[in-house]
Each structure stands twice: as C-alpha cells, then as structure tokens.
Structure 1
C-alpha cells in the first residue's frame, strides 16, 4: 500500500463502504502496452505504430482524427504512419488512450449519451489551455480532461439509485456535484475515478488531480504539488469554456472560485473570449452525428 494521503483514502474506500462492491474495469491490454512504451525515456515510434495498428477500429479512429479540422493541415492522410507523422508521437498516444478508455467503459444508459462528447470537449479545452501556460504538459492536461469524470459511468453501472443522484447533481447549483453524491452514497465520482486511475497505472499527478478536481479549496493547499494545482485550475477554466459553448449554467466551482483560478494561472478575463472563439470550431466538430 502507498503511504500518500490519497492512496490511503483510496485503500480505505476499497476496504469499506459502497466502493467495496464496485467493479473497476481492468486496464485494456493495449493501453498497458502503450503506457509502457510512452514511459521510456525515448519512446519507440514503431512500437506505438504497432499498437495503433493492432486494432482496425482504433487505427481508423486515429486516421479520422488526423483528417479532422482539429488537426488537419489541409492534406488528407490515409494510414496510421501518415496520421502519426501529422499528429506527433505524444498526441497519437493521447488519442489512442481516449479510444481505448471509451471502449473499456461502454455507456449503455440514456444519462450518458453525451458523456464522451463532453469529456472530449473538456479534454481539447484542457490541452488548449495548457498550451497557453508555461511548463504545463498539454498531453497530461488533455488526458485529465478526458478522465476526470470517469468515475461517473462506473458508479452508474454499480451503485443502486445512482441514476437519480446523477440527475439531481447535474441540476443543483447550490452545491457541488460531489457533495450531492456523498450525501446519497457516502462516496463520489472523484474517489472512484482516482481508483480507476490507480488501477490503470495512470500518472500520479493525474490520479491526484482526478481526486481533487471538485475541491475548490485545493488551490491554496501548498501540500499539493504546484503542477497539480495548475491542472485543477485549468480544469475549472476548461469546464467554463465548454459550458459556455453548450449554453449550460456555470458549475459551482467556477461561480465560487473562477476568479481565483484565473489569478492562479495568471490569465486575464478578456483572454477567455479569444480562447472561446478559437475553440468554437473545435467544439463544433465534435458534435454527435
């Protein structure tokens, strides 16, 4: 067992309470292979290409992404090597991770019809925000945007009554999503999501940020590493950009601490308008068919 506070919390949750009965899906074998390659000091291009080509649907998804307005440079690509040359190694790994995560967590519930759409928009916004900041990994930010709510489908599949809790949590503006979950189930999707991250061997900072992304007081907690606090502030900002695009009310985190997040990232409010304009066509491209 790890001695980190979050791991101790996760160990306790796994040993007692409702989380004990939840089934955490195993990490897909191809994702395990991909993580091992990308953890090397000099990741092997051919090894990533082999992983990308190992699944026909995943290879097609990568080529389709490379041809999308998000990444395309005006010339079409027809195969995995061309797609990887356009995207670069790390962005290829991010997109493969996204595909494998979506396959590992099938969402067969009306409440989650747009789950991956919203997650993909948040992930793209997170990557965009990170590129405007100094010293923040766009790949890590993108992956956090994709995974930060991954506990929700796991809870929906495994906790009786969670569907009603999810409807209530989405509707309430007077408290955070996680507080509604805690009142009803004595756990929440950040704990379950962090368990998924730990089970899948995702980076430590990613696991920590998933656990804390609804903790509005975390920005001032100096026991939390600064790169994680930057990711937390960027998550609140990315959610705001996505909600603005979709015409949804802002989350309580933005209402309570949006200004603090902007100050932490040293961003002026007028920049948000430019960022929203830049992200508009990207978000629109992700509209469901």
Structure 2
C-alpha cells in the first residue's frame, strides 16, 4: 500500500472499524510549534530556541545531550540553550525536542513497557547514523521514524482492555508474528495504530506509511510503494538488529527471515553491517 492507500485504510477503519475505540492523544502544542518552525525554507531559529527554553525539563534534556561525552569535544560544557543548540545543530536539536514531546504526550507506566522510550531513543540514534551512510535519506526523517516506529504499542495499552495480556502472549508465541496475535485479539495492531497517530499528528506521509508497514517486510521493493518508505522500513530492521547486538540479545524472527531483503534494498554488505555495528556502540551507550 502506498501512502494514499494507507490514509484511506486508516480513515475507513477509524470511521467504521476497530480503530473507533482507540484514543489518540493530541499532538503537543510544543511539537506543533516545532513542526511549523522547521517546515520553513529557512527554519526559525529564534522560535526553536523559545520552544527549547519553554520547559525546564526539555531544556535540561538538551543541555545533557550537548554535554555528553560524544559532543563535549572541547571540554567546555554548555550552560545555556543557545550554546547547546550551536553545538548540536538545528536538526539534532529538533530531533531531541521531538523525542521529549513524544515521551511526555504518551507516558508509559507499565511493567510491560520497561525501557520503552529508552529503546525508542536508541533506535532513533541508530536510524540517524544509518541515514548518514545512505544517499538520499534524511537523518532527521530517519530519527523521527526511530522514535515513532512502535508508538502504537503504548497507545493500545492505554486504549484497549486486555492489551497487556496480548503483549505477553504475542511475545511468547513462536507460531505466528507479534502483530498476528494483536489482530486475532483486537482486530488491529500497533503498526496500524502508530500510523493513525502519525497521521493525526501531521507527520510526513512517508513516516506514516513506513510505520504502517514496519512489520510487512514481504512488501519491500513493491513498485506501488514509495522508495523512501522502503528505505525507512529496511533501515529500521537494521537499526533494530544493531540495538539487539548492543544489548546482547539474540536476533529476532524478523531479522532471521527478512534481513537479506532489507540489506539488498539498501545495497549494503555484511562488511558494511559489521562496520556500522562497531560505529554505533558508543552512540547507543548514551541512552
């Protein structure tokens, strides 16, 4: 399904299908302001700085990142939002603010989702690195995809009775994919719900489509789907594997079944993968 078909699917399911019961949290005002500031041909740096400074915890997150070992090259810590923005650059600043806004819009207080946002941040960092190795993929778009990829899970947990038990069951079953169990139990899944949130929050159409298709690896390379969507989905599978290596976890079923398809789409080799794995270890340790 291309982006237009996915929009139609979401609209129909929202109006008459299982998505009627899903409660999508409103897009945070700060994120709306950030999106508006960043969409201009020349982004409004003053407005971005105002957004960053408007929340103490958000400003602290920005400063903590700017003063982390990966960025503190000259040994001089940043003490203001402006200094942090200068060190990080506009795109990374916007990505950090987006992640902060997302975490606060959808709080996760469940034993089923331990370290959910920490892993989302890791995925986003890995996606940004991967995008910088690939021609034509925006690191900012890739980072946002990494943050939002699995956002349908906490939304479902908050909206649907019994979804916590479904998570346990889906994680334990080896006879069918995770999203198959979600669909059997609830007539929808976290990929669809995540795409619905992406649409409601006016994220880029390619992000919405990639979130919808991020477990549909059989569609990789389909001519009806936009190439950028394929690239995000393929890179997302690579990012997940790099995270699992960093965490000392075995490869998952998606990787075992579909990694060659993803690597072929991205035109990368096993040697490339090993080089990327070595390069991102320190980066992923930041989270």
TM-score over 0.5 (shorter chain): yes
Q: Distance in 2 between matches of 1:35 and 1:205?
A: 16
Give the Å deviation of 1:174: 4.0
Alignment of structure 1 residues 94-109 onto 2, 5 Å: 94-109=95-110
TM-superposition CA deviations, 1:159-216 (whole Å, max 9, x none): 1111111122223344322112111111000111011111111111111111111101
Alignment of structure 1 residues 199-210 onto 2, 5 Å: 199-210=200-211
Mind listing any 5+ residue stretches in structure 1 that lack a counterpart?
Answer: none
Give the Å deviation of 1:88: 0.7
The question of 1:264 aligning with 2:265 is answered yes
The runs of at least 4 aligned residues of structure 1 exceeding 6 Å deviation read none
The question of 1:158 aligning with 2:159 is answered yes
- Cross-structure match for 1:71: 71
- Cross-structure match for 1:131: 132
Q: Distance in 2 between matches of 1:116 and 1:69?
A: 21
State TM-score, norm by structure 2.
0.95
Q: Distance in 2 between matches of 1:18 and 1:274?
A: 43
Q: Distance in 2 between matches of 1:175 and 1:99?
A: 34
TM-superposition CA deviations, 1:259-281 (whole Å, max 9, x none): 11111111111222222222112
- Cross-structure match for 2:253: 252
Give the Å deviation of 1:117: 1.1
Q: Distance in 1 between matches of 2:285 and 2:85?
A: 24
- Cross-structure match for 1:38: 38
The question of 1:190 aligning with 2:187 is answered no
Give the Å deviation of 1:234: 0.2
CA contact (8 A) 1:144 1:206 kept: yes
- Cross-structure match for 1:54: 54
Q: Secondary structure at the match of 1:220?
A: coil
Q: Distance in 1 between matches of 2:10 and 2:213?
A: 13
Alignment of structure 1 residues 140-155 onto 2, 5 Å: 140-155=141-156
Summarize the Cα distance change of 1:173–1:122 in structure 2 as closer, same or farther, 3 Å threshold.
Answer: farther
Q: Secondary structure at the match of 1:136?
A: coil
TM-superposition CA deviations, 1:220-272 (whole Å, max 9, x none): 21111111111111001111111122122323221111011111111111222
Q: Distance in 2 between matches of 1:284 and 1:247?
A: 13
CA RMSD for the aligned pairs?
1.4
TM-superposition CA deviations, 1:70-125 (whole Å, max 9, x none): 43324311110001001111111111000000000000111112101111111111
State TM-score, norm by structure 1.
0.95
Q: How many residues align?
A: 284
Q: Distance in 2 between matches of 1:183 and 1:153?
A: 18
Mind listing any 5+ residue stretches in structure 2 that lack a counterpart?
Answer: none
- Cross-structure match for 2:171: 170
